[in-house]
């Protein structure tokens, strides 16, 4: 059995999903929910003039579901999201779909979702999503992972210089990424605060 699948210590959940007794059906439902939530948030889209990559709510879905589900289920949720969009469901930004998105300008960002889902989930298993400051830093880092794959991919596919790729694929998204990290940090740290109150009765 993978260490990522190890059960939580009774009364001490490692991630929010551990608050519910673990079963295969539950895990499958959580992975599907992660994919659907990411798809829903992807419909929040703001076009970026001069860039083939829009600002969307996708990365908020990635970091939130990864922190809530942990590394394996977090990555699996994003893999399922990408698969469902690739086979034709209107799950990508603005209701787009199709395998071409994986080989086009946004492909690196999409693949980055899986890696970020795993790494954010792994960090969350060590409690880094529970305090506001640490959660904010974690979710900024999680989105940085996505850009670390997405920007070089964009440069290659669109035949851009490094400076052009940064101008089109990173700089316009910094403020939005910070806002999404702040939202995710507030949601996760607030949820854990509520969990502690319920468990302690205070």
- Residue range 99-130, pLDDT digits in tens: 999 999 999 999 999 999 999 999 999 999 99
pLDDT band at 8 (very low <50, low <70, confident <90, very high): very low
Residue 163, token pair as written in the block: 């400076």
- Which residue matches tokens 């996505």? 146
CATH 2.40.160.50 fits 14-191, yes or no: no
CB atoms within 10 A of CB 68: 26
CA distances from 15 to 3, 46, 132 (A): 14, 31, 16
Q: What's the angle, vertex CA 180, arms to CA 174 and CA 184, rounded to 5?
A: 145
pTM, rounded to two decimals: 0.89
At 46 the pLDDT is: 84
- Residue 4 pLDDT more than 80? no
- Give the span between the Cα atoms of 138 and 38, in whole angstroms: 18
At 197 the pLDDT is: 87
Domain segments of the chain as ranges:
14-191
Q: Please count the helices (runs of H) and the strands (runs of E) in the chain.
A: 8, 2
At 153 the pLDDT is: 97
At 21 the pLDDT is: 87
């Amino acid at each position: 059995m993978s260490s990522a699948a190890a059960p939580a210590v009774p009364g001490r959940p490692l991630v929010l999903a551990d608050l519910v007794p673990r079963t295969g059906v539950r895990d499958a439902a959580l992975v599907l929910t992660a994919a659907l939530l990411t798809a829903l948030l992807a419909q929040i889209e703001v076009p970026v003039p001069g860039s083939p990559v829009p600002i969307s709510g996708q990365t908020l879905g990635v970091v939130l579901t990864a922190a809530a589900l942990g590394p394996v289920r977090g990555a699996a949720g994003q893999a399922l999201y990408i698969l469902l969009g690739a086979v034709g469901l209107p799950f990508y930004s603005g209701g787009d779909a199709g395998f071409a998105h994986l080989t086009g300008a946004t492909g690196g960002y999409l693949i980055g979702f899986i890696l970020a889902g795993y790494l954010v989930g792994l960090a969350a298993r060590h409690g880094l999503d529970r305090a506001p400051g640490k959660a904010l830093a974690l979710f900024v880092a999680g989105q940085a992972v996505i850009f670390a794959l997405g920007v070089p991919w964009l440069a290659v596919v669109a035949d851009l210089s490094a400076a052009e790729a940064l101008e089109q694929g990173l700089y316009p998204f910094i403020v939005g990424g910070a806002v999404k990290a702040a939202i995710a940090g507030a949601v996760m740290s607030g949820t854990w605060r509520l969990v502690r109150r319920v468990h302690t009765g205070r």
